[in-house]
C-alpha cells in the first residue's frame, strides 16, 4: 500500500485544484488567509505585525523552516524567502544552531493612557520616578537599563546553590511514583510542611505543627490570601508601618484593603499611634523593619501583645530575619503570640525569588478559611520545587548555603558602609547590623523630592537606586535605600561614588 510522505504535493486539493488550507500553532497562521502567489510576502507581513504587537518580543525564536513548511503545507523555499525578507529589514537574524530569532522591534513613543494626565516632571529628571498613581513603578524600574543595580530586596543570586539543587532534584525524581505527579494537597506537600516546621523551630524559635503550615507562592500570595479572608469577615483596613515597602502597601490596596500609616521610630512601630488608627490588623516587619532596619524592642512587643487582647491581628512578614551580622537573632512575634499572629516567610531572600516558595502560619481561627482560599486560588504550589526544597532543608544544604551568604553579604555590607563614608559625607547610615540593604538619610532642610531627583539623575547615568520617599506616606528626611547583597564590592564603590558626584 502506498503511503503519503506528507509533502505539500501529496496534500488534499480543493475542488478548484488549489491545495486545502493548512494551519500552524505559530501565530495561529492559516494559509486560507494568504493571497494566491504571495505566500512569502504574506508570511513576512504576519511576523512583522506580531513583532510590532508584542507577540514576538526580542529574543523570540521562529520555527525552523522545515517545521513551518510542513505545518503550512508549503515548500520550504517559501519559508526561507519570508525569513530572508525579515532578515533584510532587520527584524530577525540567523543564530546558527540557535535558529532564527527576533532582534529588533519597531520603535514607538509610549502613550499616556487615556484619562490620565502626565505629571509634571522636573527638568532633567527621569519620568520613571514621577509616575502617575497606580503605575507599577517596580516593574518599570526593573525594566530600566542600568550598568549598576543597587536596588534592595535581592540576595547574592550568583551564589545560588546550583549543584546542591541539582543533586536534590535528581534524588527526588528518582524516588517519585506516578501518583506523585497528580494533584496534591493544596496546603503543600507533607514532606515540605514537616521540613518547614523543623526549620522554623530550629531557626526562628516557632513551635508549629506541620498541619498548620501552608505552602504559598511567597509573601505576596500570603498577603493576598489573608486579604481575601479578612474582607470576607468584614475587615477592610490593615495598618502598615511608615515608612514601609511601597510594594507591600500597593499589594494590600490592590487586594481591596485600606492601609493607614503608623509611624516607626528607633524602637519600632508606635503602638499608641496604631491604636489611634482603629485598624483591627497591622502588617509588621519586626525582625528588620523595611526600610529603616529598626528592630522591634521588648517594650513595643509587650504593647502589641496587649493590643491583640482586644482582637487585633498581627501579620508578621519575617523580612530578612536570617541575614544578620552584628546582632543576635531576633525572636519572631509568632513564637509568643501564635493565636494572634499570621506569620509569613519565604526563600526569596534565602535562595531566590524566582522559586516562588514560601509559607504562611495563620492563627487557628483563620487557618481553615486561608486553606480554602489557597485551594480556590491555584490548587496548590508546584510539587517538585517543594520536594527539592525539603531535601535541601533536611540534608543541611540550606543551612550551609545560609552560612555562605552571611559571609558574602557581610563583605558587601562592609563595602557599602565604606563607600557611603567615602563618597556621601554627612549621610546617616541606618540598619547596618542585618539585612540586604542600608538606608541612608541626608541633612534636614532638603526639599521634599530631593531623593527622587537624585535617584532619577543616578539612573540616567547608569546606577539604579530607590528613593526613601517611595516608601513613605508621610514626609521623611530625604534618603536612599541602597541594596548591596546582589552587587560586587567594585560595583558598590563605583555606584556610590557616582551618587556622591551628583551631590557635589
Residue 408 and residue 367 share a domain:
no
pLDDT of residue 5: 39
pLDDT in the model for residue 268? 97
- Does 328 share its domain with 414? no
Asked whether residue 3 is assigned to any structural domain, the reply reads no
The CATH number linked to 459 is: 3.90.1150.10
Q: What is the pLDDT of residue 99?
A: 86
**3 state SS of 315:** strand
- Which regions in the chain score pLDDT beneath 70? 1-21, 104-143, 444-449
DSSP string across 399-454: HHHHHHHHHHHHHHHHHHHHHHHHHSTTPEEE-TTBSSEEEEE--TT--TTHHHHH
Within a domain: 406 = yes
List, for residues 457-489, the tens digit of each pLDDT value: 899 899 999 999 989 988 888 999 999 999 999
Tally of structural domains, the chain = 3
Whether residue 336 is found in the same domain as residue 437: no
Q: Mark whether 199 and 348 lie in a shared domain.
A: yes
Which long-range contacts does 296-302 make (Cβ < 8 Å, 24+ apart)? 296/267, 296/268, 296/269, 296/330, 296/333, 297/267, 297/268, 299/267, 300/267, 300/268, 300/269, 300/271, 301/333, 301/336
Question: Is 142 found in the same domain as 62?
Answer: no
Single out the residue in 365, 395, 425 at which a domain terminates. 395
Q: What is the CATH number of the domain that holds 56?
A: 1.10.10.10
Is the domain of 369 the same as that of 233?
yes
419 lies in a domain?
A: yes
Burial of 477 from C-beta contacts in 10 A (0-12 / 13-18 / 19+): middle
What's the CATH code of the domain at 204?
3.40.640.10
Q: Going by C-beta distance under 8 Å and a sequence separation of 6 or more, which residues neighbour residue 134?
A: none
Q: Is the overall model pTM greater than 0.85, yes or no?
A: no
Say if 38 falls within a structural domain: yes
What domain range includes position 90?
19-102
Tell whether 286 is covered by a domain. Answer: yes
The gap between the terminal CA atoms of the chain, to the nearest Å, is 86
The whole-number pLDDT of residue 43 equals 94
Predicted local distance difference test score (pLDDT) of residue 131: 45
Our CA dihedral for 376, 382, 388, 393, rounded to 10 degrees, sits at -20
Asked, for residue 226, whether it belongs to a domain, the answer is yes
Last residue of a domain, one of 395, 425, 446: 395
DSSP type of residue 97: G
Amino acid at each position: 500500500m502506498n503511503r503519503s510522505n506528507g509533502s505539500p504535493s501529496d496534500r488534499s486539493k480543493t475542488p478548484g485544484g488549489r491545495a486545502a488550507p493548512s494551519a500552524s500553532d505559530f501565530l495561529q497562521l492559516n494559509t486560507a488567509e494568504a493571497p494566491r502567489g504571495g505566500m512569502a510576502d504574506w508570511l513576512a507581513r504576519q511576523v512583522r505585525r506580531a513583532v510590532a504587537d508584542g507577540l514576538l518580543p526580542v529574543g523570540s525564536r521562529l520555527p525552523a523552516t522545515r517545521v513551518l513548511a510542513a505545518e503550512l503545507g508549503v515548500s520550504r523555499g517559501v519559508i526561507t524567502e519570508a525569513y530572508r525578507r525579515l532578515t533584510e529589514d532587520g527584524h530577525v537574524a540567523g543564530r546558527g544552531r540557535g535558529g532564527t530569532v527576533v532582534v529588533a522591534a519597531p520603535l514607538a513613543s509610549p502613550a499616556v493612557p487615556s484619562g490620565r494626565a502626565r505629571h509634571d516632571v522636573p527638568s532633567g529628571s527621569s519620568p520613571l520616578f514621577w509616575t502617575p498613581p497606580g503605575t507599577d513603578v517596580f516593574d518599570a524600574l526593573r525594566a530600566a537599563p542600568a550598568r549598576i543595580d543597587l536596588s534592595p530586596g535581592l540576595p547574592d543570586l550568583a551564589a545560588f546553590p546550583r549543584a546542591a539543587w541539582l543533586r536534590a532534584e535528581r534524588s527526588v525524581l528518582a524516588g517519585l511514583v506516578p501518583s506523585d505527579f497528580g494533584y496534591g494537597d493544596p496546603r503543600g506537600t507533607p514532606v515540605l510542611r514537616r521540613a518547614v516546621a523543623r526549620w522554623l523551630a530550629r531557626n526562628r524559635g516557632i513551635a508549629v505543627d506541620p498541619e498548620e503550615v501552608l505552602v504559598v507562592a511567597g509573601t505576596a500570595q500570603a498577603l493576598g490570601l489573608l486579604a481575601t479572608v479578612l474582607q470576607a469577615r468584614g475587615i477592610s483596613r490593615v495598618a502598615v508601618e511608615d515608612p514601609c515597602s511601597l510594594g507591600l502597601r500597593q499589594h494590600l490596596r490592590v487586594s481591596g484593603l485600606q492601609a493607614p500609616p503608623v509611624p516607626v521610630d528607633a524602637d519600632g512601630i508606635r503602638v499608641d499611634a496604631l491604636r489611634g488608627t482603629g485598624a483591627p490588623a497591622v502588617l509588621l516587619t519586626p525582625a528588620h523593619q523595611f526600610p529603616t532596619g529598626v528592630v522591634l524592642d521588648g517594650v513595643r512587643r509587650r504593647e502589641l501583645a496587649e493590643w491583640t487582647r482586644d482582637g487585633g491581628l498581627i501579620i508578621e512578614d519575617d523580612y530578612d530575619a536570617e541575614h544578620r551580622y552584628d546582632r543576635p537573632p531576633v525572636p519572631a512575634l509568632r513564637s509568643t503570640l501564635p493565636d494572634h499572629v499570621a506569620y509569613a516567610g519565604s526563600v526569596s531572600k534565602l535562595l531566590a525569588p524566582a522559586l516562588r516558595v514560601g509559607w504562611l502560619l495563620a492563627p487557628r481561627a483563620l487557618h481553615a478559611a486561608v486553606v480554602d482560599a489557597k485551594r480556590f486560588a491555584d490548587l496548590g504550589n508546584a510539587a517538585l520545587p517543594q520536594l527539592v526544597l525539603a531535601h535541601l532543608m533536611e540534608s543541611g544544604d540550606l543551612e550551609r548555603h545560609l552560612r555562605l551568604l552571611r559571609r558574602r553579604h557581610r563583605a558587601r555590607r562592609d563595602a557599602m558602609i565604606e563607600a557611603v563614608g567615602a563618597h556621601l559625607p554627612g549621610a546617616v547610615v541606618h540598619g547596618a547590623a542585618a539585612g540586604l540593604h542600608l538606608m541612608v538619610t541626608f541633612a534636614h532642610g532638603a526639599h521634599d523630592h530631593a531623593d527622587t531627583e537624585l535617584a532619577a539623575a543616578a539612573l540616567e547615568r547608569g546606577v539604579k537606586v530607590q528613593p526613601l520617599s517611595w516608601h513613605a506616606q508621610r514626609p521623611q528626611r530625604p534618603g536612599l535605600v541602597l541594596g548591596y547583597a546582589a552587587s560586587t564590592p567594585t560595583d558598590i564603590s563605583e555606584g556610590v561614588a557616582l551618587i556622591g558626584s551628583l551631590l557635589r
